[in-house]
Structure 1
Amino acid sequence: MENIKNFKARLVIQDFKQKSGIDYFDTYAPVACISTIRLFIATALIHNLIIHQMDVKTSFLNGELDEEVYMNQPQGFIMPINENKVCKLIKPLYGLKQALKKWHQKFDEVFLTHGYLLNQADKCVYSKFDEIVLYEGHGEADLILVSTSMDTSEKLMPNNGHVVSQLEYYMVIGCLMYVMTCTRPDIAFAVEGYTDASWNSNIEDNSSTSGWVFLLGGGVISWASKKQTCITSSTIESEFVI
């Protein structure tokens, strides 16, 4: 049996006494999507990156409480001569219904004021980049958009008439895919996504089934299969329904 090095105690409030609309209002807070976590792990493997993980101790105590909330003095810490007084909370305590939301608001505020950008596809993802290099050469952005030919021996011709070699083209496409997977995970799904749908596969209500899968680095990061909510009259229509 391991020796106990220290003892810790946590003050938890009795949230079952809170009244909605008086002691608290909104209690929701976003949670990172599991597909986003898979995406970052796959990206780290592709680019041989190191993932760091950290934990904020007593994180809920860092939030700012807007509501006026009172609690009884905790047992063992009652002030002499002031036994009948209560405590007015300035910071959220563990157990408070709005504690998680207040912590997220504080976290969001600090990260945004330090130059981080909030991902619009997943509200739990923040990114910050000092410099993004898309192309090592010089010129305007139209060098990235070139006329693609099926013939690999043929030179590629962008809008400005500059001849681009196949190697330069591959470098540009590689940079574009890097931006999608590393700096813009919300559009990375457009790189390796597959979807299909059956037609009238359910014999009971003639409904169809949609299915999709998204891959990154050869691994699946998101997938789903579900029955469609409307009836389609052709295979083409069923493929348009998500």
Structure 2
Amino acid sequence: MEPAQAPLLPAPLVPADPTSPPPIEPAPPAPAHPMRTRLRDGISQPKTRTDGTVRYPVPHALLIVLDDVEPTCFSQASKHPLWCAAMSEEINALLRNQTWSLVPPSPTHIPVGCKWVFRIKRHSDGTIERYKARLVAKGFHQRPGIDYFETFSPVVKPATIRTVLSLAVSRRWSLRQLDVKNAFLHGFLQEDVYMVQPPGFVNPAHPTHICKLHKSLYGLKQAPRAWFNRISTFLLSLGFSRSLADSSLFIFQQGSHTIFLLLYVDDIVITGSDPSLLQTFISLLSRQFDIKDLGPLSYFLGLQVVSHDGALHLNQLKYVHDLLHKSNLLHAKPPSTPIAAKSVLTANDGDLLTSPTEYRELVGSLQYLTLTRPYISFAVNTVAQFMSSPRSPHMVAVKRILRYVKGTIDFGLHFTPQSPSTRLIVYSDADWAGCPDSRRSTTGYLIYLGSNLISWCSKKQPTVSRSSAESEYRALAHACAESSWLCSLLYELGVRLHFPVLMHCDNLSTTYMAANPVFHARTRHIELDYHFVREKVALGSHQVCFIPSVDQQADLLTKPLHKPRHHLLCSKLVRPRPLSLQGGVKPHALIKEEESETDSSQSQ
């Protein structure tokens, strides 16, 4: 039997100490205050006890702000459950993939460091898709010739993307988008690379061990090359062939069935003649790699792709909105042109910027924006020439381009169906001695596949031209080389082109030089360009045609223009997104939402 428990007795009274001060009488209650408080109304929140490891509950409004912030280090992310779950998911994927094995440290093994990188993935409308944590190796610790050798890996060219999209529209093919999860982890390493254990996930049984990498990891210098070799080897084993014109384009041809695959690191776009064959291929790809099928192509590399009435519209609405928000120009007044018609930017005018980082970031973002906006190519090319030592007038010019982009935020390329047998049409132009510092000319050209614009360029020429005819001829040679490359690409894609390729030039001397060998003495110093174009014209693959300057569309890519001329040529290159598109954000809707929020906050 258990012993009986002693009854609980009341604590004995402690006699009062005669030396202690007498007890203080409680003060009478204070008169009721007329102010109403939440406690008087019975509104109170329960107190939450903590032992120092559990955080107090965060208000919902503040939690939304915290969820929208990307941590910069592991210590910040470890305090948020969503980021902790993202890191655990990444580590589990690495372990399943057998990316590394733990080995004891050795004096001959010099491990590289690693860190966590956190990103919030969003949909095209700006809403949060998922929280992504990536373990990245510190590749700058690697030693050349020991930890890595070859590092180059190709990516698909923008002109190839636009060409394939134009063909898919013309052939009524479906476009599918795939994403490879942890793409770089699939590549096999040929070198012995060691890495420290990830922060927050050190093996307690072997805390001093290091990781010997068997497969590539993000951040390693050879990771892109290892991944490209892995997936290209797999595609070639399925019967695909790699394009000679673009190494990141893979073509499958079997009878009447065709598949085109565009590879940009871990983003894949496929299109083909048979939807069932596409689905079979996606299933085979999913067995080899961790593939996420994103369905029909809608958002790729910051480009929003929208189908409408058999046509395809490409724009960068979300990218522009984020760029304007970052530069605090979301509510600025847009000008009529991206660069003033009489503006002359030089390398020595104005004061040097104290911090050129912002200038370089904005110019780099604008360069990516030219993927769907050729009408700002000349302005962006102009401000990009001062990246080494930007000055205050250059920053003013960059802000003007951004304000102009705000006024044309919904503009983009528009692809319509073309006939099976179409023609390449080229517009070539040059601005002779347009640069006030070096007196070099500017090359500009546009290349159309039927009525779809697929390639363009605005670039300063590498040498000084002694005459306007010479600058025009150099521009014609660049356009001829690009059109020749596009002809070989279209041949591999099975497109029957009408020849010759028509190259329009507004300089009579240039057209004569392309057809008449008597001018050889005048063009001895540009002999290579001369012989290249002459050879194409003699073979009959190209034909140089004169066009009046008023009809020269490439004029937009060589010099600043006045408002009427700029708007006329701009309307021939791009168009705004139709308002009747389903499932997308209407043009300017994001900006109007921001403006309404700003107005309401100011009124408060």
Alignment TM-score, normalising by the size of structure 2:
0.28
Q: Which residue of 2 aligns with 1:235?
A: 469
More helix by share: 2
- Name the aligned partner's letter for residue 235 of structure 1: A
Q: Which residue of 2 aligns with 1:13?
A: 137
Residues 1:202 and 1:91: Cα distance change in structure 2 (over 3 Å): same
SS in 1 for 2:169: helix
Query: Could you tell me which of 178, 193, 197 is aligned with 2:429?
Result: 197
- Name the aligned partner's letter for residue 37 of structure 1: I
SS in 1 for 2:446: strand
SS in 2 for 1:197: strand
Residues 1:96 and 1:231: Cα distance change in structure 2 (over 3 Å): same
- Name the aligned partner's letter for residue 85 of structure 1: H
- Name the aligned partner's letter for residue 201 of structure 1: W
SS in 2 for 1:106: helix
Q: Which moved more, 1:213-222 or 1:96-105?
A: 213-222
CA contact (8 A) 1:210 1:241 kept: no
Q: Which residue of 1 aligns with 2:221?
A: 97
Query: Could you tell me which of 54, 68, 78 is aligned with 2:203?
Result: 78
Q: Which residue of 1 aligns with 2:454?
A: 221
Deviations 1:204-228 (A, max 9, x none): 6775543221113522111113343
Aligned-partner Cα distance in 2 for 1:202–1:83: 65
Greater gyration radius: 2
Q: Which residue of 2 aligns with 1:48?
A: 172
- Name the aligned partner's letter for residue 251 of structure 2: S
More strand by share: 2
Q: What pairs up with 1:54-133 in 2 under 5 angstroms?
A: 54-74=178-198, 75-78=200-203, 80=205, 82-131=206-255
Deviations 1:80-127 (A, max 9, x none): 2x4433221111122222211110111111112221111122111111
Deviations 1:10-60 (A, max 9, x none): 343333322222211222211211121111222222222210000111111
Residues 1:223 and 1:78: Cα distance change in structure 2 (over 3 Å): same
Unaligned runs of 5+ in 1: 134-173, 178-190
Q: Which moved more, 1:226-235 or 1:86-95?
A: 226-235
Aligned-partner Cα distance in 1 for 2:443–2:470: 12
Aligned-partner Cα distance in 1 for 2:215–2:471: 54
User: Residue 63 of structure 1: CA displacement?
Assistant: 0.4
Q: Which residue of 2 aligns with 1:26?
A: 150
- Name the aligned partner's letter for residue 196 of structure 1: S
Aligned-partner Cα distance in 2 for 1:234–1:210: 12
CA contact (8 A) 2:194 2:212 kept: yes
CA contact (8 A) 1:193 1:212 kept: no
Aligned-partner Cα distance in 2 for 1:41–1:18: 39
SS in 2 for 1:70: strand
Residues 1:202 and 1:38: Cα distance change in structure 2 (over 3 Å): same
How many residues matched?
A: 187
- Percent of aligned positions with the same letter in both sequences? 33
Residues 1:25 and 1:235: Cα distance change in structure 2 (over 3 Å): same
Q: Which has the higher contact order (CA 8 A, sep 6+)?
A: 1
CA contact (8 A) 2:465 2:471 kept: no
Aligned-partner Cα distance in 1 for 2:229–2:85: 31
SS in 1 for 2:225: helix
Aligned-partner Cα distance in 2 for 1:95–1:61: 11
Residues 1:235 and 1:43: Cα distance change in structure 2 (over 3 Å): same
Deviations 1:182-212 (A, max 9, x none): xxxxxxxxx32313234x7226677554322
Aligned-partner Cα distance in 2 for 1:221–1:76: 48
- Name the aligned partner's letter for residue 222 of structure 2: Q
CA contact (8 A) 1:70 1:87 kept: yes
SS in 2 for 1:51: strand
Residues 1:232 and 1:109: Cα distance change in structure 2 (over 3 Å): farther
- Name the aligned partner's letter for residue 78 of structure 1: N
User: Residue 66 of structure 1: CA displacement?
Assistant: 0.5
CA contact (8 A) 2:153 2:228 kept: yes
Aligned-partner Cα distance in 1 for 2:229–2:172: 33
CA contact (8 A) 1:46 1:217 kept: no
SS in 2 for 1:225: strand
Unaligned runs of 5+ in 2: 1-63, 68-80, 91-134, 258-418, 479-604
Residues 1:77 and 1:237: Cα distance change in structure 2 (over 3 Å): closer
Alignment TM-score, normalising by the size of structure 1:
0.65
User: Residue 70 of structure 1: CA displacement?
Assistant: 1.0
CA contact (8 A) 2:432 2:467 kept: no
User: Residue 69 of structure 1: CA displacement?
Assistant: 0.6
- Name the aligned partner's letter for residue 148 of structure 2: Y
Q: Which moved more, 1:230-239 or 1:63-72?
A: 230-239
